[in-house]
Structure 1
Amino acid sequence: MPVTVRLYRQSQPSCFDRVKMGFMMGCAVGMAAGALVGSLRLGLRGRERLGGVGKTMMQSGGTFGTFMAIGMGIRC
C-alpha cells in the first residue's frame, strides 16, 4: 500500500487566538495565586473569608491575564 502524502499544512493560530490563550493562561495562574494569597488573610471567618478569597482570585486573575494577553500580543 503506497504512503499517502498530506498536502494540507496545519495552520498556525491567529494573533487573536494567541492573545486569547495568553489571557486564559494568565487568568488561571493569577486565580491560583489569588487563592493562595487570599486564604492567608488573618482575622476573617466564614463568609467574609470566602468572599475575600473570591475577590482576591478575580482581581489577581484579571490583572495577570491582562498582562499575559499584552505580552502575547507583542509577540505576534
Structure 2
Amino acid sequence: MPVAVGSYGQTQPSCFDRVKMGFMMGFAVGMAAGAMFGTFSCLRVGMRGRELMGGVGKTMLQSGGTFGTFMSIGMGIRC
C-alpha cells in the first residue's frame, strides 16, 4: 500500500510511531490517574513522608504502564 502524501509533502506516521505515541499518551493519562488514586489510597491507610512518596510513585508507574500498554495495543489494532 503506498504512503499517502499530504499537500505539503508530509508523510503519514508509521505504524510503529502510532503505537509509540499511543503508549506515551496512555502512560501520561495513567500517571495522572495513578497520582490521584495513589495519593488517596496511601493517605487513607496512614502513610506519611517517604513512605507516602514511594507508594504514590509506585502506583503512578503501575497505572501508567498498564494504561499505556492498552492504549498502544489499541493504536496497533487501528494500523
> Normalised by the shorter chain, which TM-score bucket?
0.7 to 0.9
Aligned length: 70
1:74 aligns to what? 77
| 2:54 is aligned with 1:54 | no
Alpha-carbon distance in structure 2 between the residues aligned to 1:71 and 1:8: 29
Give the structure-1-normalised TM-score: 0.88
DSSP-derived class of the 1:40 partner:
helix
DSSP-derived class of the 1:39 partner:
helix
2:19 aligns to what? 19
Identity %: 79
Structure 2 alignment gaps of length 5 or more: 1-6
Structure with max Cα Rg: 1
Structure 1 alignment gaps of length 5 or more: 1-6
Q: Which amino acid aligns with 2:26?
A: G
1:28 aligns to what? 28
Alpha-carbon distance in structure 1 between the residues aligned to 2:8 and 2:53: 51
Alpha-carbon distance in structure 2 between the residues aligned to 1:51 and 1:9: 48
Runs of 4+ in 1 over 6 A off after TM superposition: none
